[in-house]
Amino acid sequence: MKKGYLLAPLLIIAFGFAKLPLEQRHSDSMIDRGLRQPVDMGLGEELGQGALIAVLGGYRSILASLLYVESQVFFERREWAKVETTFRLVTSLQPQFERYWELGGWHLAYNAASSYRFDESRRLAVRETLFHEWLDRGIAMLEDGLRHLPDSWRLHADLAEIYRSRKEDPRLAAHHFRMALANGARPLYERMLAYELVLLGDRESWQEAYDILMDHYRQGHRMPSAIRDLKILEERLDIPLEQRIPEEAPPPLEPEPGADATSGRPQPGPAAATAPVPA
């Protein structure tokens, strides 16, 4: 046998053993920092063989984009189970893209849940059960997103909004608004936090809400909803008359910038500035 034909495979094998730890270290380091995703063969069952080959061929991101586009077709047809399955796949393929988690949570917790709630072909009890079931699926989607992107203020804000407007749980809403703020959400969410704290039953929360709203008031943010809550808090906290704000409590609420007309609070939906309008 020719020498070269023997040496070449030996060289490749020797290099193969030497490079493994180098590749592994670099790969682990990037996975730890959320810079890449390991190949998950479990995806094959859900994706189908063709799509799995696309993933193996290096087309993970474009496949995620195309599946996302497909999910919009299911959304238009109100095939909610397929919407959920597709978003689960999309987020498995690219868990670092927070927008997919946001949109998945929004579809499930708002569009699917409302679709079932207003489906008059079902009995009221069934509608309410399905509404809460899909609401919980939306929450689960966003919580999964936070496991991958714990610093995402947008996911926290979306969760807070669901707890505020859909679950009516001010304690969890306040928690997620607080987390959103800790991760860089804009000051609007501080006011949102205060509105939820007002709804809690303890004096400490009221004091915190009062401090936040007064701070915003001094900065010139004198929204009707803020004035309303400040007047409530002045009473609850026995604020001396000379320290109270001069405004009267506004009777009917008018919408503030970025707020809906009924509650004076931001509209539901993904928290981004460029959020889509729910259909």
Partner 1 sequence: MSDSDSSRPTDPGSPPLQNSGLGGALWRVWVLACSTLTQLVRMKVFVFLILATLVLAAMAFAVVTFSPEEELKLIRDVALGSMHLFASLLAIAATAILLPRDVEDRTLYTILSKPVPRYEYLIGKWLGVVLLIGICLLFMDLFYSAILWWRQESLIQAQLAAFEAAGQLDAGLAEEVRTAIASQGLTWGFHSGAFGILLQGAVLTSAVLLLSTIATSTLFTILAGVAVLLIGHGQELARRYFLEGQVSTTMERLIATPVAIVFPDFSLFQSAADAASVGTGLPLGDLLRLTTIAVLYILVYKIAASLIFAEREL
- Residues forming contacts to partner 1 in the complex (CB under 8 A) are 2-5, 7-9, 11-13, 15-17, 19-24, 26-27, 29-30, 35-39, 41, 53, 55-62, 64-65, 68-69, 72, 94, 96-97, 99, 103, 186-188, 257-258, 272-276
The torsion angles phi and psi of 247, rounded to 5 degrees, stand at -65, 150
Question: Shortest gap between Cβ of 234 and partner 1 (angstroms)?
Answer: 27
Nearest to 162 by CA among 214, 101, 222: 101
According to DSSP, residue 256 is labeled P
| Closest CB to partner 1 among residues 100, 116 | 100
Question: Shortest gap between Cβ of 203 and partner 1 (angstroms)?
Answer: 31
What's the rounded Cα separation, in Å, for the pair 180 and 156? 5
Question: Shortest gap between Cβ of 250 and partner 1 (angstroms)?
Answer: 19
Cβ distance 38 to 31 under 8 Å? yes
Question: Shortest gap between Cβ of 213 and partner 1 (angstroms)?
Answer: 18
| Closest CB to partner 1 among residues 100, 134 | 100
| Closest CB to partner 1 among residues 35, 182 | 35
| Closest CB to partner 1 among residues 128, 151 | 151
Question: Shortest gap between Cβ of 39 and partner 1 (angstroms)?
Answer: 5
| Closest CB to partner 1 among residues 52, 194 | 52
Question: Shortest gap between Cβ of 117 and partner 1 (angstroms)?
Answer: 22
Cβ distance 266 to 188 under 8 Å? yes
What's the rounded Cα separation, in Å, for the pair 246 and 191? 20
Question: How distant, in Å, are the alpha carbons of 19, 117, 143, 223, 251 from that of 105?
Answer: 42, 17, 9, 29, 35
Residue 116, classed as helix, strand or coil, is: helix
| Closest CB to partner 1 among residues 19, 77 | 19
Cβ distance 187 to 170 under 8 Å? no
The two structure tokens encoding residue 270: 């993904």
44: Cα within 13 Å, side-chain hemisphere:
7
